[in-house]
Amino acid sequence: MISVGIDIGGTKALAVRLDGSQIVDESRFEVERTAETIDAVTQSIESVFDDSVQAIGVGVAGLVKPDDGVLVWGPHVPGTNLAIRSAVAERFGVRAYVDNDANAAAFAELSIGAASEYRNVLFVTLGTGIGGAVIIDGSLYRGGGFAGEWGHVQVDVNGVLCDCGKRGCWETRASGPALVRLAHEVVNRNPDSSLARILGAGAITGESVVAAADAGDETARALVTEVGRSFGQGLAGLVAVFDPELVLVGGGLGSIGESIIGPARRVLADSLHGGRLRVPPAVQVATLGPSAGAVGAALLAAQDGV
Ligand SMILES: [Zn+2]
């Protein structure tokens, strides 16, 4: 089976062509924020499409109805109620499938990655926000289509404003932007601090703060630990509900690994009811990296959504 998968977010798109589960071609794009989403999807597909392609999968960051192939809404993607599946199927003349980007990435991890040996897994993406997917008994669980949007569980009614329009969502405490916000507070309060010198005049990113922490800056380490602990606190809530065998962490910040995940793991172990009488699930970094969403979208399309 030759299939194409694309992963499209607010600023970037990745397109792959697979033969079976092997990537045989890929291309990356910057997406203009003002670009029509369906045009951006079509252009991404064109970059890797040829006559051998039998199925096309689209993973997109937002609320997707997989049964209809419609993107209802995404905080970083222009347009609402976009009929992506019918537009793609019509344009390219092959069957198409559309899903949330985290579902697509989780499906790739389940098929050929770190989740392949497990039956019950929570896939949690930690990056610009927090998203995720639920795998129950070896299959994706979608609910009505929108399951796994736990980044928008409110953890602080008086918290900062979230991209979704609500206040104090989990992702406002534990994400790349949360770390950046904390770093800005420190730097503004104390421009002579070692962290201010390390981060310099350039734009502060979640990755740059983690790098400063890993290089030994105590202030940066405290901030990264704070975000990691907030991440772990949220994970504890999810584990209380699902009791998975494995929590798999993907996304740009999650992929950085131990400096964030270590504190999260400790808070998770301390927070579970039942204490030492139960073993917390393993918390591991996803293995397929940034191509997981595009690969998973292609695999889902090849299997017609499973
Ligand atoms: Zn929110």
The tens digit of pLDDT for each residue in 179-231 reads: 999 999 999 999 999 999 999 878 899 999 999 999 999 999 999 999 999 99
Residue 93 predicted with pLDDT over 90: yes
Say how many Å lie between the CA of residue 175 and the centre of ligand 1.
Answer: 12
Other CB atoms within a 10 A radius of the CB of residue 215 amount to 10
Q: Is the pLDDT of residue 284 over 90?
A: yes
CA of 177 to the centre of ligand 1 (A): 13
Distance 171 CA to ligand 1 centre (A): 7
Give yes or no for a contact between 6 and 44, defined as CB atoms under 8 angstroms apart.
yes
Strands 55-60 and 95-100: parallel
Distance 295 CA to ligand 1 centre (A): 27
Query: How close is the Cα of 297 to the center of ligand 1, in Å?
Result: 25
Q: What is the pLDDT of residues 17-50, one digit of tens each?
A: 999 999 999 999 888 877 789 999 999 999 999 9
In the beta sheet, which residues pair with residue 102? Answer: none
How many residues are present in the chain? Answer: 306
Give 154 Cα–ligand 1 centroid separation in angstroms. Answer: 7
User: Does the pLDDT of residue 94 top 90, yes or no?
Assistant: yes
Helix 258-271 × helix 218-242 angle, to 10°: 50
CB 210 within 8 A of CB 179: yes
Given this model, what pLDDT does residue 10 score? Answer: 76
Rg (alpha carbons) of the chain, rounded to whole number: 19
74 C-alpha to center of ligand 1: Å?
A: 12
- Look at residue 242 and tell me whether its pLDDT is greater than 90: yes
- Pairing type for strands 246-250 and 63-65 reads unpaired
Compute the distance from residue 180 Cα to the ligand 1 centre, in Å: 17
Tell me the mean pLDDT in the region 163-167: 91
Give how far Cα 187 sits from Cα of 174, 203, 230, 260, 283, Å: 19, 12, 21, 21, 32
H/E segment holding residue 239: helix 218-242
Give the Å distance between the CA of 128 and the centre of ligand 1.
Answer: 12
Find the 242 Cα to ligand 1 centroid distance in Å: 21
Question: Ligand 1 mean position to 51 CA, how many Å?
Answer: 41
Instruction: Report the separation in Å between the CA atom of 108 and the middle of ligand 1, taken as the mean of its atom positions.
Output: 26
Higher pLDDT, 128 or 81: 81
Q: In angstroms, what is the span from residue 148 Cα to ligand 1's centroid?
A: 13
Contacts 24+ apart (CB under 8 A), 268-276: 268/232, 268/235, 268/236, 268/239, 271/232, 271/233, 271/236, 272/236, 272/239, 272/240, 273/240
Distance 166 CA to ligand 1 centre (A): 5
**Ligand 1 mean position to 167 CA, how many Å?**
7
User: For position 146, what pLDDT does the model report?
Assistant: 92
225 C-alpha to center of ligand 1: Å?
22
Question: Is residue 246 over pLDDT 90?
Answer: yes
Q: What is the mean pLDDT of the chain?
A: 94
Expressed in angstroms and rounded, the spacing between residue 155 Cα and the centre of ligand 1 is 10
Q: How far is the CA of 102 from the centre of ligand 1 (A)?
A: 16
Tokens 């537009």 -> residue: 87
Taking the C-alpha atoms of residue 153 and residue 150, their distance in angstroms, rounded to an integer, is: 5
- DSSP type of residue 77: B
> pTM score > 0.95 for this model?
no
